[in-house]
């Protein structure tokens, strides 16, 4: 601050500093001192927990990557089997055994009905 003569008033500056420092409450009771002493220990505990979480996250990410690779491999295998099966069906002009078996069963049942009546 400047006075009318242009010089800074040392007293005004000192008074402002005292007001600022007076507003700050220094820890003077035992409980506050104790909590300040525990703060570094609590910080170490939190840091240890954070490190553990980071390790677990890295492990889970590795597991996820492995599983993702396995899914890709299985998907490729399934696609290969589908293509192979589709190719085998188009290459084989024979009727399936299942259809001919159904026809035989149906005919057999019709014969039995006609012979009873």
Over range 75-96, report the average pLDDT.
83
* pLDDT top residue among 85 and 33: 85
Asked if 95 contacts 104 with a C-beta cutoff of 8 angstroms, the reply is: no
**CA dist., res. 45 & res. 4, Å (int):** 58
* pLDDT top residue among 60 and 106: 60
Q: Residue 8's beta-bridge partner residues?
A: 2
Categorize the per-residue pLDDT at 92 as very low, low, confident or very high, splitting at 50, 70 and 90. low
- What Rg, from alpha-carbon coordinates, does the chain have? 44
Asked if 1 contacts 8 with a C-beta cutoff of 8 angstroms, the reply is: yes
Categorize the per-residue pLDDT at 73 as very low, low, confident or very high, splitting at 50, 70 and 90. very high
Over the chain, what is the mean pLDDT?
A: 77
pLDDT at 32: 73
């Amino acid at each position: 601050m400047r006075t009318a003569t242009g010089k800074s008033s040392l007293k005004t500056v000192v008074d402002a500093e005292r007001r600022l420092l007076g507003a700050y409450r220094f820890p003077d009771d035992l409980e506050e001192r104790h909590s300040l002493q525990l703060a570094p220990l609590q910080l170490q505990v939190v840091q240890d927990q954070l490190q553990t979480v980071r390790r677990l996250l890295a492990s889970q990410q590795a597991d996820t990557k492995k599983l993702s690779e396995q899914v890709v491999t299985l998907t490729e295998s399934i696609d290969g089997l589908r293509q192979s099966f589709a190719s085998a069906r188009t290459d084989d002009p024979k009727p399936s055994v299942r259809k001919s078996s159904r026809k035989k069963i149906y005919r057999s049942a019709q014969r039995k009905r006609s012979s009873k009546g």
